[in-house]
Structure 1
Amino acid sequence: MADREVEAFSDIFQIVHFQRGDIIFREGETSNDLYVIDKGIIDVVIYSKVHLGESERIAKLKDGDIFGEFSMLDGAERSATLIAEEDTDLMVAAYIDFHRFLENREHVGFLVMRNLARTLTVRLRKMNHEVQSALL
């Protein structure tokens, strides 16, 4: 992307600060915002549907990581609860602003969506590997 396109893209994001222990969003909530970690660490937690009250950390996100992309793409409920492990600054893009940007800049939109597809592919491959390892 050209510098002016990067600047325009960054304009759709708002910086939001979370303190250690703050819940960013809960599993089952509806929202389709996209998040990028500017600074901080976030725990990704899922809660057992069988053993109520039990939870498991399934991932740890760090600077530069993107999340919220599934709900942004399909509008489904959040699949996990995210908790700030330390003071964290997030760049948050509202669904409407994100899509408006992509529609108005098709070339940049293609690059962003391609990178998003790569991110999702890496996550899916990792998950497939973990399932295979658990079964063997």
Structure 2
Amino acid sequence: VDDTLHFMLRYNQELRTSKSHTLAMQNTIREEALPIVSTSLALTIGFLVFTQSGFIPVAQFGLLSAVVIASALLADLIITPLMISSLRLVTLWDLLSSRVRQQIIPKSPLFRGMRPWQIRKFVLSSTLLEFAPGEYVYAKDDPSNALYLVMKGVIEISVPRRTQDGQDPVVDQFGSGQIFGDVALLADEPRQTNAVALTHSTLMVISRETIATVTHFHPYIASRLFLNLAQNLSHRWVNFIGRVRSPRGSSAEDDELP
């Protein structure tokens, strides 16, 4: 098991450097063959010593153990490389484009002040969903079990209350790098609005379970996350108040308000 872990870790490092599966496997075998063979031979010889025992069960144990180690050596040098080289192991982080990893995610208000490894922890524990234009992300009264980060596209939030022209009042729109769905999630209340994709959109979904896990095992990261959510919600509330007031026009009374 130890040799297999070292082999896979070295292969992952070589793959990131060479960007070629074939070259990465060749370099991995060349670098890991000597330690794998030497440790396996040492263990095999050690177990073969038991075969010199006059106590038959001990001798049989030594022989069988030596056979197991020898079989594991063959598996590490033949079967494991064949299996790994035929697979394409990628993570969600690898699937994201360089533009998303370098621009959208680090600059999102959700991850403000976080280190790259902290951001990556959230990304790897989240999921990506795609929505066609006009498709609902969620509707009123749906359970609030996740918040959303817009990777691509535009999402419109509206209140399901028809106006005279037959349209639902639009509350806000969210583009790349922005987050939504956090209010109902933190309040642990059903959704009070509809979220609809205006264009083809890709969303990163961070579930309640993910946030709970991070809160339990990484309280510092969780504190940064909740601070970012609070600041982002405050900015959105200020902007919303500004949009509500703007149709009334400016007045002396309005100018006195912050």
TM-score (norm 1): 0.87
Secondary structure of 1:31's aligned partner: coil
> How far off is 1:135 after superposition?
5.8
Separation (CA, whole Å) in 1 of partners of 2:187 and 2:161: 24
Q: 1:76 aligns with which of 189, 203, 209?
A: 189
Give runs of aligned pairs for residues 105-116 of structure 1, distance below 5 A.
Answer: 105-116=218-229
In structure 2, what is the equivalent of residue 92 of structure 1? 205
Distance 1:95 1:134, change over 3 A: same
Separation (CA, whole Å) in 2 of partners of 1:32 and 1:111: 20
Q: Is the 8 A contact 2:154 2:197 kept in 1?
A: yes
Secondary structure of 1:37's aligned partner: strand
Q: 1:129 aligns with which of 224, 242, 246?
A: 242
Structure 2: 5+ residue runs without aligned partners?
Answer: 1-113, 250-258
Separation (CA, whole Å) in 1 of partners of 2:163 and 2:121: 46
1:65 correspondence with 2:178? yes
> How far off is 1:68 after superposition?
1.0
Deviates more, 1:91-100 or 1:120-129: 120-129
C-alpha root-mean-square deviation of aligned residues, in Å?
Answer: 2.1
Structure 1: 5+ residue runs without aligned partners?
Answer: none
Separation (CA, whole Å) in 2 of partners of 1:50 and 1:5: 44
Larger relative contact order (C-alpha < 8 A, sep ≥ 6)? 1
Separation (CA, whole Å) in 1 of partners of 2:136 and 2:193: 11
Deviates more, 1:27-36 or 1:62-71: 27-36
TM-score (norm 2): 0.48
Separation (CA, whole Å) in 1 of partners of 2:212 and 2:158: 28
Secondary structure of 2:190's aligned partner: coil
Q: Is the 8 A contact 1:12 1:98 kept in 2?
A: no
Deviates more, 1:89-98 or 1:100-109: 100-109
Deviates more, 1:97-106 or 1:109-118: 97-106
Bigger CA radius of gyration: 2
Greater helix share, 1 or 2? Answer: 2
Separation (CA, whole Å) in 2 of partners of 1:11 and 1:58: 31
